[in-house]
Structure formats: C-alpha cells, structure tokens
C-alpha cells in the first residue's frame, strides 16, 4: 500500500524524513526511511499507539521498521516500544535503569495514569517495556542504506538524566538537516522539568543541539511545531534564566 505523508497524517520534512504529532499529549514521533530500512524516533504512549505508528511507518517506507530510537525514558515516548517487534532499539546510556526493574516500571505506570492514560493500557505497556539493545554514550552513526546515515547523539543529562538527539543530514539539494530533539525542546508549552530533570546541564545540552544542526536545520521538538535555531537559542536562554544557570 502506497500513501503520501499527508494522507497518513505525517509532516514531510525532507526526502524520506517526516514526523507526526500524536493525539492527547501532542508528542512527536519521527520517521527516517533508508534503503530497505526505517528508523522510528520515539514510540508513543501505549502499545496501541506504537502499533499505529508501526503500521503508518510501514505504509510510508514500503517495508518494516528496522530501527527505533528512544530520546528519553518518559511514558509518552517509550510505552509503545514493544510494538516494534524485531527492530533494533537504541537509547541514551543509562536508560535501562529507568526501564528495567519492578519499581521503575511502576513509577512510569503511575506517572502515565496521573497524566490521563487508561490504567489498563498503562499496565499493559509497563509490563511489556523493552530494554534498548544499544545504549549510546557519545555518538553513534546508523547506516540505513541508500546513502542515508543518521547520527544518534547523547546530549544529556538535561530534561532527564538520559537524553538522546537524532540528527538526519540533508541528502538532496533543497533539503535541510533535521534534528529530532525529544523534550529537550518544546514548542507547545513551557519545557517541563520534573524530578528527573538536571536543569544545570540543560542550556549546555541545547548548545550541543545547535552545534549538531547548525543555523539552517529544522529542529523537531518533543511537543509542538517544528522550530528553527533562533527558537532553540531563545529557549536555551529562558531555561538558563529560569534555573539560574550562568552563561
């Protein structure tokens, strides 16, 4: 089945690169299509949402999802991960300390329910949570074939103790580099700093994002509309002022 990005409800950002804004929490999921491979960035807030993402991605790519990158361990980004059976899963080093263990899973489940996820769906997803096969401590280049390479960069701690960004270099004339930021950047509301945030490091993490993408990149926030480098700089400065971080 062949559909366009728009028909599937996705926003095309460059050749073979797009994202969708999921309902309820306005969480972003990304897709990067390679030659016989496909990378999903973040998995949605439930197994059902993850399954819908997988189906849509397979329509758009023309083949199955082979790779999954989790930007950070919050329920709205990881609870759909088990729906991507057979995919190689990547995350920032240390993410397993949040996704493994009964107590950690219970905390994620409880947070999801507090935020409005159906209790049965939250329990199902927390029980099925999978540990990433590959943990990124610095940078990791994925070769998706067909001249498509993607850089996974551990830029945290910041929004959480474990934050991963995904850089997709421009491949065709007229395309722009795309940086999937996770919740390091938020456009639809003020960036959320929970108990697992490390505010003193957050501005530096945004500097790292800007170094990765440069002035002309498209920056894809974890929630909200795609932004530019100037927006990221403004958010960096606002976070530094909010948390008293000297620049």
Look-up of token digits 């099925």: 128
Environment class of 1 (CB within 10 Å of its CB; exposed 0-12, middle 13-18, buried 19+): exposed
What are the structure tokens assigned to 50, written together? 């993850």
What mean pLDDT comes out for the span 153-161?
Answer: 97
Q: Compute φ and ψ for 17, nearest 5 degrees.
A: -135, 130
Query: pLDDT tens for residues 182-220?
Result: 999 999 999 999 999 999 999 999 999 999 999 999 999
| Per-residue pLDDT at 3 exceeds 80 | no
For the chain, how long is the longest CA-to-CA vector?
53
Q: C-alpha 217: how far from its chain's center?
A: 17
Output the pLDDT for position 104.
87
In total, the chain counts a number of residues equal to 247
| Per-residue pLDDT at 101 exceeds 90 | no
What mean pLDDT comes out for the span 98-113?
Answer: 91
Query: Residue 141's beta-bridge partner residues?
Result: 151
| Per-residue pLDDT at 102 exceeds 90 | no
CA angle 110, 113, 114 (to 5 degrees): 85
Look-up of token digits 């990378």: 39
| Per-residue pLDDT at 162 exceeds 80 | yes
Strands 67-69 and 88-92: parallel
Query: pLDDT tens for residues 123-145?
Result: 999 999 998 999 999 999 999 99
């Amino acid at each position: 089945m062949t559909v366009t990005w728009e028909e599937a409800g996705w926003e095309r950002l460059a050749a073979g690169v797009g994202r969708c804004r999921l309902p309820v929490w306005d969480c972003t999921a990304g897709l990067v299509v390679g030659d016989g491979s496909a990378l999903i960035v973040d998995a949605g807030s439930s197994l059902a949402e993850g399954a819908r993402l997988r189906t849509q991605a397979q329509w758009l790519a023309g083949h199955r999802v082979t790779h999954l990158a989790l930007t950070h361990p919050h329920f709205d980004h990881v609870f759909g991960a088990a729906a991507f059976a057979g995919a190689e899963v990547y995350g920032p080093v240390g993410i397993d300390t949040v996704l493994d263990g009964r107590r950690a899973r219970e905390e994620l489940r409880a947070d999801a329910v507090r935020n409005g996820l159906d209790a049965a769906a939250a329990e199902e997803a927390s029980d099925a949570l999978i540990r990433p096969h590959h943990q990124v401590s610095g940078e990791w280049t994925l070769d998706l074939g067909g001249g498509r390479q993607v850089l996974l960069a551990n830029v945290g701690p910041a929004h959480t103790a474990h934050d991963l960004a995904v850089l997709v270099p421009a491949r065709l004339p007229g395309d722009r580099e795309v940086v999937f930021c996770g919740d390091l950047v938020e456009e639809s509301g003020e960036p959320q700093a929970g108990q697992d945030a490390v505010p003193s490091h957050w501005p530096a993490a945004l500097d790292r994002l800007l170094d990765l993408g440069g002035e002309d990149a498209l920056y894809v926030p974890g929630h909200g509309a795609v932004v530019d480098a100037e927006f990221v700089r403004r958010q960096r400065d606002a976070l530094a002022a909010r948390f008293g971080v000297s620049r």
